[in-house]
Amino acid sequence: MTTLLINNAAQLVRVSCCRDRRKCGSEMLDLAILENGSVLIREANIEWVGGAAHVPPLPPQTQVMEAAGKIVLPGLVDNHTHLTFAGTREDEFELRLRGTSYQAIAARGGGIHATVRRVREASKEQLKGLAQRRLDRMLALGITTIEVKSGYGLSYDDEIKCLEVIAELNQEHPCDLAATFLGAHEIPAEFRHNRQGYLDLVVEQMLPEVAERGLAQFCDVFCEEGVFSIAESERVLTSAADHEMKLKIHADEFSPLGGAELAGRLHATSADHLLQITDKGIDALLEAGTIATLLPGTAFFLGLPYAPARRLIDRGLPVALATDCNPGSCMTENLPLMGTIACTQMKMMPAEVVTALTLNAAAALARSHRIGSIEAGKQADLVIFDVPSYKLLPYHFGCNHVWKVIKSGQVVVGA
């Protein structure tokens, strides 16, 4: 039985669970920091957490990793990505710089449609290789659990292909992956004049197959003007719930359509984006206990107003942060950078950012009982950063401060 002691960290940033395994409002500031802290890991789990002066007797052949001058955090969690894609859209980036809107590009056949064409042309092996490279970059940044959506296939065969890629990578890659079915990402070109036909395909054929094969834990829908209406979104999500899948929703990104209210009504695990959320939407999420996942990189990349993080936190919502890594609106795997943007543009405090990237992000994947904080009994997913304080992570931005990444008790970066 292998044991590992991480010893004498300048800051052991435990985050620590509260009763409902998420942190709301002022709770997000409490990181339960232990100075000169140590963590004992046995096999895949955390066995003991405490001060370096109180380390219990160690089993023979325990590996000791000295972390003086460094900080230890829970493994970071990215709870909203679109990693299964092929091709890039840098031409659209230039169009946006010249003043063309994201919606106008999509109306011309670009946007999601452009990536759908590339994904349909790609083999499963090609998609898998591309996604694996992105996962490798994320792991090197300290991200140990990642949600990955389908949604660039938009046909029965291609959506299944994307979900099979996610399932295989979950078995083979050190990162834990949470799969999300996003067949309702857009109406594909061949159904442009038959919206009902495509919704029928998603609800009556895709969802039952995905559920029966256990290819996705979550179902998501892009609820937005010009994409899927409230009624259409509700049909997809209600069907997914009937198949015992958990729910997510792209809500109120470009317009205050009422996606947050729908998320609350259906008790979704998370509502994501929320740039245009209303007070009614906030009330609905509060009542349902839904996680508000904010994606500051998307607003940054598209030049949009940011989600009202301060208003959400001050109202008592549990807020998470994610990359939204995708080829159109946020082409980055850098989750720590999202923390800096959240601080400078959304006025979140560094401690709130840490909570949003760990415990609350884990709660947005219904996994905060196992990951997201450093506590005895939890899975040993840890990141050691070569800085003396967690406050330097958003402050010294744009570079990778990771010293070592430990996944399920094994050193997977910096061995």
pLDDT of amino acid 247: 98
Closest Cα partner for 103 from 189, 227, 220?
227
**Token pair in block for residue 296:** 């500051």
Q: What is the pLDDT of residues 84-95, one digit of tens each?
A: 999 999 999 999
Q: Tell which residue, 79, 138, 112, has the closest CA to residue 291.
A: 79
What pLDDT, on a 0 to 100 scale, did the predictor assign at position 398?
94
Q: DSSP string spanning 145-208?
A: EEEEE--S--SHHHHHHHHHHHHHHHHHSSSEEEEEEEEET---GGGTT-HHHHHHHIIIIIHH
- Domains of the chain in start order, with CATH, are 3-74+373-413 (2.30.40.10), 77-363 (3.20.20.140)
| Confidence (pLDDT) at 19 | 72
The alpha helices in 12-147, defined as continuous H runs, are 90-97, 102-107, 112-121, 124-140
pLDDT at 204: 98
pLDDT at 272 (0 to 100): 98
Residue 109: the pLDDT is: 79
| Angstrom distance (rounded) from CA 374 to CA 34 | 11
- Given a cut of 50, the residues of the chain with pLDDT beneath it are none
Q: What is the pLDDT of residue 148?
A: 98
Tokens representing 409? Answer: 């008790």
Q: What is the pLDDT of residues 263-305, one digit of tens each?
A: 999 999 999 999 999 999 999 999 999 999 999 999 999 999 9
pLDDT of residue 117: 96
DSSP three-state, residue 282: helix
For residue 11, the model assigns a pLDDT of: 98
Tokens of 68: 């003086």
Q: Collapsing DSSP states into helix, strand and coil, what is residue 221? A: strand
pTM: predicted TM-score of the whole model, two decimal places: 0.97
